[in-house]
């Protein structure tokens, strides 16, 4: 059953209150935003889909007020589109927005990789190498979900190893939108294969402490992902092409 539809018959357990690592210090609307953000990122709440407050409040087991506030938070993040006198909806990936998003991510992650190459510890390098190895194993097995989880960890760890708080905050502000876009770009098998090779080259540059190369390779990697997503959007009139041999 769709977790955001009003349940029929016996009430469902509110999904918001299920143990899912939600921080106890978060307010109710922030917890609702966290849950809805996850559903949007994973595609359970699809792009362009209406977000009806009554249905969401019933599914989450909370009143409409925190749901409304949660949707406002997600609108600020660019995940939700608020519409006058109509229900909000999940924001769609528009070509102009995709271009700007990947330009920003490329700039941030280039700087992060350059700093990380000079600052990461031997233990952090070992961790990156392990993540790369595990990610390649999941690629070989065709396990996209596991691969993507490790891919996100690698990008996040590189940014963390830059040891630059403002840069990390800028990256986190774009994280959810970037995650959605990367998931959809990796629907292309050809792009998936390229991504693995690019990650391998990025790791080699970090291990060599070659800051310029690490920054350039990571920025190029992000740019290639954005290009693949835009190509898919163009071919399908708004939805990425998910054929195994696409782009």
Residue 245, pLDDT above cutoff 50:
no
In the chain, how many domains are there? Answer: 2
Other Cβ atoms closer than 10 A to 32: 26
Query: pTM of the entire structure?
Result: 0.74
175: in domain: yes
User: Would you state the pLDDT for residue 234?
Assistant: 76
4: in domain: no
Same domain, 71 and 158: no
Same domain, 106 and 44: no
d(CA 153, CA 149): 6
User: Would you state the pLDDT for residue 58?
Assistant: 92
Same domain, 186 and 231: yes
Q: pLDDT by residue (tens digit) across 156-193?
A: 999 999 999 999 999 988 888 888 877 776 667 888 89
CATH number (domain holding residue 39):
1.10.10.10
User: Would you state the pLDDT for residue 78?
Assistant: 86
Q: Provide the domain limits for residue 74.
A: 15-90
Select from 75, 90, 105 the last residue of a domain.
90
Query: Are residues 93 and 184 in contact, defined by beta-carbon separation less than 8 angstroms?
Result: yes
Percent of the chain clearing pLDDT 70 (strictly above): 84
Query: Are residues 51 and 89 in contact, defined by beta-carbon separation less than 8 angstroms?
Result: yes
Select from 69, 90, 111 the last residue of a domain.
90
User: Would you state the pLDDT for residue 186?
Assistant: 66
What is the average pLDDT across 235-241?
Answer: 53
Q: pLDDT by residue (tens digit) across 23-59?
A: 457 789 999 998 998 898 888 898 889 999 999 999 9
Distances (CA, A) of 148 to 67, 171, 203: 29, 18, 17
Select from 33, 59, 90 the last residue of a domain.
90
Same domain, 50 and 171: no
User: Would you state the pLDDT for residue 178?
Assistant: 82
Per-residue pLDDT band at 64 (split at 50, 70, 90): very high
Same domain, 86 and 111: no
Same domain, 67 and 169: no
């Amino acid at each position: 059953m769709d977790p955001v539809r009003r349940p029929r018959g016996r009430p469902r357990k509110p999904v918001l209150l299920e143990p899912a690592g939600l921080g106890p210090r978060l307010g109710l609307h922030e917890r609702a935003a966290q849950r809805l953000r996850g559903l949007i990122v994973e595609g359970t709440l699809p792009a362009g889909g209406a977000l009806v407050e009554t249905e969401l409040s019933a599914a989450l087991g909370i009143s409409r007020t925190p749901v409304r506030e949660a949707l406002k938070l997600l609108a600020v993040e660019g995940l939700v589109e608020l519409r006058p006198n109509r229900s909000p909806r999940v924001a769609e990936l528009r070509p102009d927005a995709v271009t700007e998003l990947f330009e920003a991510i490329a700039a941030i992650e280039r700087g992060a990789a350059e700093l990380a190459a000079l600052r990461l510890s031997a233990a952090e390098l070992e961790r990156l190498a392990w993540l790369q190895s595990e990610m390649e194993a999941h690629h070989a097995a065709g396990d996209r979900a596991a691969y993507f989880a490790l891919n996100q960890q690698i990008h996040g760890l590189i940014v963390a190893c830059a040891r630059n708080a403002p840069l990390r905050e800028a990256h986190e502000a774009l994280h959810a939108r970037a995650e959605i876009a990367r998931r959809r770009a990796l629907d292309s098998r050809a792009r998936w294969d390229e991504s693995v090779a690019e990650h391998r080259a990025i790791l080699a540059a970090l291990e060599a402490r070659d800051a310029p190369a690490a920054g350039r390779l990571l920025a190029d990697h992000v740019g290639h992902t954005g290009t693949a997503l835009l190509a898919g959007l163009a071919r399908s009139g708004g939805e990425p092409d998910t054929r195994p041999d696409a782009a």
